[in-house]
Structure 1
Amino acid sequence: MSIRTEETSMQNQFKLRRAITLSMLAAPFLARPLPALAALKHFAITDFGAVADGATVNTAAIQKTIDHAAAQGGGTVVVPAGVFVSGALFLKLKVNLHLEQGAVLRCSTDLSHFPAGRTRIEGHFAPNFNPALINANGCDGLRLSGAGTLDGAGRPIWDMFWRLRNAAPDPHNFKNIGIPRARLALIERSNGVTVDGLTFKDSQFWNLHLYRCQQVTVRNARFVVPDDYHQAPSSDGIDLDSCQHVLVEGCYFSVTDDCIAAKGSKGPNALSDTDSPSSP
């Protein structure tokens, strides 16, 4: 009996020591904020002043929502049902975007809301072209999701493009970037990107432009322009610019330019373009 009692006591002490050791090992991890918790935070743009009237330009209110989410350690910016007009928006690391059913985030057709600057476009960096509606740079793990719509409101911009092109001395050499136009989404230098469920509609220029991204999934998205418009210029669905490991599945394309275009650097400075090596 004494032997068994001693063995039982030793076993209990071992279990206690093991429990204490495991607790000490776990403590540093439990003390840290879990990354998954950031994804559980949701920030509705209407809580920061955005108005769904199809007319008010909500750039400041939506950007304020994004900045607040980033300051809180990340989370998901939510666009509820309704039509929200906006200019260029800039996502930040750990901040995702979700458009609910019936939500429309629409480009302003006043291009002053898309202030021109240096940006990647058509296989090179242009010193003075417009950003996209949704811009993300260095946003690993980015997720754009939902059953809502990114709407480029492109028709008046397309009309202007064709008027200027047809009036040009040499229409066939009229540059695509000869007039200001906004893409719907530009995602740069970001890994582990997911685009899921969104509709990209009537983009003024390319719909989804991915530059130097890796491990990207584009799933169940739609890329459309009106059937009754003769040709929406430069309405590419997805432009994969110097990207690697990209999966596109379950997507629908009805555009009047490339559905999916794989690109690299081009033009006279292609070989010296260190931002986009010829063999990405």
Structure 2
Amino acid sequence: MKSFKFILAVLLFSSLSWSANAIQDEKKWAEIYEIIDNIKEPVFQDKTFNIVDFGAKADGSTLNTEAIQTAIDKCSKAGGGTVLVPAGTYLTGAIHLKNDVNLHIAENAVLKFSTNPNDYLPLVQTRWEGNDVFNYSPLIYANGQNNFAVTGKGTIDGQGSSENWWPWKGASQYGWKEGMPSQLDEGVGRPALDKWEREEAPLFERQAGEGFYLRPQFVSFINCTSVKIEDIKIINSPFWVVHPILSKDVIFRGVHIESLGPNSDGFDPESCKNVLVENCIFDTGDDCIAIKSGRNSDGRKPNVPTENMLIRNCKMIEGHGGVVIGSEISAGARNIFAENCVMSSPDLDRAIRLKTNNHRGGVTDGLYVRNIEVGQVKDAVIRINCSYDPKEGQGNYPPMVRNVYISNITADMTGKTPAKYGLRLEGIKGENAVENIYISDCTFNGVEKVSQIEDVKNLHLENVIINGKKVEAN
């Protein structure tokens, strides 16, 4: 009788615990909806500045940088409005957005960006894979600006290819050949960034640009507020596609990204607050969405996490991961939400992914994911990896991933190439790196292995069915 009462008590406690977690979960969703509803969306005066009136030519070969920048500058100085890129193909170098300007790419307009690195000088302040640096200007850039947007049904083309920008990666599949320079060369590129970060060099000493082979981001802005990117199509990025840094109130809506080059992450908010991503399509050469907050000391010193982010109603096609946190996550992330997305491709590696290591560190606290339809992935449906990029060796900043709530993910690879795993969750031996993971009401079919779970504390599985069998937490 005592054993029966004990079992009953355990079952009751478990039921109450899940009920309490469900209530907490719904409370958190209500909170993020309220935060997102209060994002300050940019608004603009009813004034139009047509770039053709400033001398721009739609012949695809005339460099229109000066004409476009003049239109932007005059629009901002006049109190703001719309800078119109009308139908046609316009070649340009770096464009710097200003306060109160809506850069509108009209339907049947193509803003095509030069492949000459000199057209992205002077160097500007940015981050490159989480490290602070002065580098080539992103193709579209802003620093310290407020209330601006890039909108319209047109296309912006970065012209990244195996002949332009991409060989700097140093990988043969992207056009690099033996003897060509790359970001991997000693003393430049990635090694230079690592050295500057390790020695905590002042920002003004971190001058990259010519000879460093660090590809520019396509759209990037730093220290900005009230920003919207809406409806445009973005193709062929040299590097990360859209990269907000240290910015607040960011809306990314209805954007279609097609960029299959090296490190072509679709949307990488870094140390940002109050971010909405909705109704977007991602077909990328790297992570579709990757949430960042700085790499190593360049993230830890300012200690600005990415927080209050909602992703909804998006489609993820090709990429390393659908919704990803990391790997440059040294200042952490919190209150990250994703719902009602479709993810599927034989070239999509994972659906939900968290990646870090004990060099990067950082605390990810509060990831909420629900209602995700997965057609096909290669590696795992849900992946947590706290030993990402092991070639960095052992560090002294153990990461932490905690309070992860995932529900109602369906994945069916029956008759397709199966994923290697349903669940692949790896903490760090001897550390409480991964704890309080709640996965419920998920069904995965057509995976090779049910799970790989190591060094996870407080893992709760409720109604998780993989290959037709209920999976229990160990």
Gaps of 5+ in 2: 1-41, 194-211, 306-329, 334-474
Matches of 1:205 and 1:73, distance apart in 2: 33
Amino acid at match of 1:278: A
Match in the other structure for 2:331: 278
Match in the other structure for 2:278: 249
Q: Name which of 179, 188, 191 aligns with 2:222.
A: 188
Q: Answer with 1 or 2: which has the greater Rg.
A: 1
Match in the other structure for 2:100: 94
Secondary structure class of the residue paired with 1:270: helix
Deviations 1:121-171 (A, max 9, x none): 2112113x11111112233222211001111000122245446855379x9
Amino acid at match of 1:245: N
Match in the other structure for 1:205: 239
Amino acid at match of 1:167: E
Secondary structure class of the residue paired with 1:135: strand
Matches of 1:236 and 1:248, distance apart in 2: 14
Structure 1 residues 1-280: aligned runs within 5 Å: 38-115=44-121, 116-127=123-134, 129-155=135-161, 156-159=164-167, 161=169, 162=171, 167=178, 175=189, 178-225=212-259, 232-273=261-302, 278=331
Match in the other structure for 1:30: none
With over 3 angstroms needed to count, the CA separation of the structure-2 counterparts of 1:51 and 1:238, relative to structure 1, is same
Secondary structure class of the residue paired with 1:43: strand
Shift of 1:217: 1.5
Shift of 1:268: 4.3
More deviation, 256-265/180-189: 180-189
Matches of 1:101 and 1:172, distance apart in 2: 36
Gaps of 5+ in 1: 1-34, 226-230
Matches of 2:298 and 2:254, distance apart in 1: 36
Matches of 1:172 and 1:125, distance apart in 2: 16
Shift of 1:181: 2.4
Matches of 1:242 and 1:105, distance apart in 2: 29
Structure 1's consecutive aligned runs of 4 or more residues displaced over 6 angstroms after TM superposition are: 274-277
More deviation, 144-153/179-188: 179-188
Amino acid at match of 2:232: L
Amino acid at match of 1:270: G
Matches of 1:41 and 1:223, distance apart in 2: 29
Matches of 2:144 and 2:168, distance apart in 1: 34
Matches of 1:138 and 1:117, distance apart in 2: 12
Matches of 1:83 and 1:144, distance apart in 2: 17
Matches of 2:138 and 2:298, distance apart in 1: 23
Matches of 1:189 and 1:96, distance apart in 2: 18
Amino acid at match of 2:137: P
Number of aligned residue pairs: give it.
239
Give the number of the structure whose residues are more often helix, by fraction: 1
With over 3 angstroms needed to count, the CA separation of the structure-2 counterparts of 1:278 and 1:71, relative to structure 1, is same
Match in the other structure for 1:16: none
Shift of 1:219: 0.9
Amino acid at match of 2:103: L
Deviations 1:72-114 (A, max 9, x none): 1111111001111111111111111100001111110011000
Matches of 1:242 and 1:54, distance apart in 2: 36
Matches of 2:252 and 2:142, distance apart in 1: 16
Matches of 1:46 and 1:173, distance apart in 2: 41
Identity %: 35
TM-score, normalised with respect to structure 2: 0.47
CA contact (8 A) 2:167 2:176 kept: no
C-alpha root-mean-square deviation of aligned residues, in Å?
2.8
Matches of 2:86 and 2:107, distance apart in 1: 8
CA contact (8 A) 2:245 2:269 kept: yes
Matches of 2:55 and 2:296, distance apart in 1: 44
Amino acid at match of 1:98: H
CA contact (8 A) 1:142 1:190 kept: no
CA contact (8 A) 2:97 2:148 kept: no
With over 3 angstroms needed to count, the CA separation of the structure-2 counterparts of 1:235 and 1:45, relative to structure 1, is same
Secondary structure class of the residue paired with 1:258: coil
